[in-house]
Structure 1
């Protein structure tokens, strides 16, 4: 059995190749700053990449919120991550919350965000860093940085426009308005909206289907999906050829082929 990393403000489980990371600071509405959640998320991301027993990572929140993003009390007091001169504050961002997008972008397995409640500011951005989002009916989403007189300092402007396009991302970011789960689905932010009590069941059903795929090919496929966003077609096809050559020589490939042949013979 794999050894799980020691986390402070989140819980982590691993069963049937599915890791579930639960942000567990309900008292702070799972704010990412003013807690240890940044370290917990980064540690989990790094662990996933080195643990061959993981095929899917699910991220959700404990309590009524997915994540409130930044700790507004710290902002009001100019404390914590928001203290100091412009240069000092910028360095805290680099050494603090900006570690999350870099870690999330590097995760090699599929990541599903089960958005159990409001995902606001950096919490919204965290959800957008996942590969797929499923929302409970109570979920709300808001790129609310401008409402506080600040910018999306955690990379949110980079992620959201790749998810829903520049125009829609621009409108949400520049108005700072909050959208409910159904509008989020219409915008393409989430793939599905389900009753609150069904959120984890629905999420785990999707996670199980992904986790049942051959694990090495799954990691290579996710890498291809990410790299396709920034490569020219010819270069991308060359990479596909290399990855396919690797896949054809993995035992899991022949195992999958034999299962398919057995299934066909029973029809």
Structure 2
């Protein structure tokens, strides 16, 4: 029965994510052609304002589309399990855990694809847009980026990409489960359940951000107090790469813990404290 739930959820949700992906691809192509029509500034110290604005608007559009997808997944979860549809869903011969897992698996998969597509799209835009935005020799920029990559991110490009894929996967589950947990908590209120869910989501995300920020303080302190940072140099200190690596690790661990807590909380409310509209 679980496989049927997953197939049904997949068939019912594919339209909005696919449309979102197509919009990003179309925007990427449009920006590519716009950048092809632009000329870099003659002054090496100047930037092409048009290219810069186009790049910023593109990044904002990708971010908005990603947010819309999260909202869509959350709204579908709420409508299917906590409104009139929930009476039917909860009479099916399945457990609340199976209902939660089927929606989680499909929703997190869509978010994972979105995160990878967004990363690819932004990398493409940087590759297309930089030659139009600044007067730079791309043949020299590539080797320079590869040389500075470990200093900036604390790891080589290939390990970074593999780590990013893993981080995106964990973050996708975490973001979906956070929304599910907030919606489930909101149903415990007698009135204004939607508003309560929104407030729970805001509070939950703020709490996670505060905790992760506190955990990053020791790494930030070590970087600031390192000898390279104390010296007046124009180079990137070696401690910066170690700091960024620890930031990524803390973010992944925080997302993993948040996902586990949200899953347990959502499952408990669906089993023990179910309160349909």
- For normalisation by structure 2, the TM-score amounts to 0.30
Greater length-normalized contact order (CA 8 Å, ≥ 6 residues apart): 2
- Structure holding more strand per residue: 1
- For normalisation by structure 1, the TM-score amounts to 0.31
- Structure holding more helix per residue: 2
Structure showing greater radius of gyration is 2
